[in-house]
Amino acid sequence: MAKKITVGQIVVSDGMIGVYRVVALSGDKADIEKFDIAKQKSLGDPIRTVAVNKLTQYQEDPSQAAARIVRDVIAEEN
């Protein structure tokens, strides 16, 4: 069974390129907005409504996560 999609969750959508954050749920529909993983913030793109069954939880590759964390620490030190 797939994990339940919740508001605030980072997801990918079948047929769409990119990573999104769920901003609202209504029945079998979800409102999503484009999300920048590296900066951990919304890109300000318009919200799109998609079917919840088209969404899956975003899984960041561990090596990508490690590289992002190192970049963040270096940026904070400078």
Residue type, 38: A
Q: What is the pLDDT of residues 18-61, one digit of tens each?
A: 899 999 999 999 999 999 887 888 887 778 899 999 999 998 77
Calculate mean pLDDT across residues 11-19: 91
- The pLDDT of residue 40: 84
What would the two tokens of residue 53 be? 């069954």
For the chain, the domains span 10-77
Q: How far apart are CA 32 and CA 29, in angstroms?
A: 10
* C-alpha distances out from residue 36 to 15, 44, 61, 68, Å: 18, 10, 15, 12
What would the two tokens of residue 32 be? 């999503």
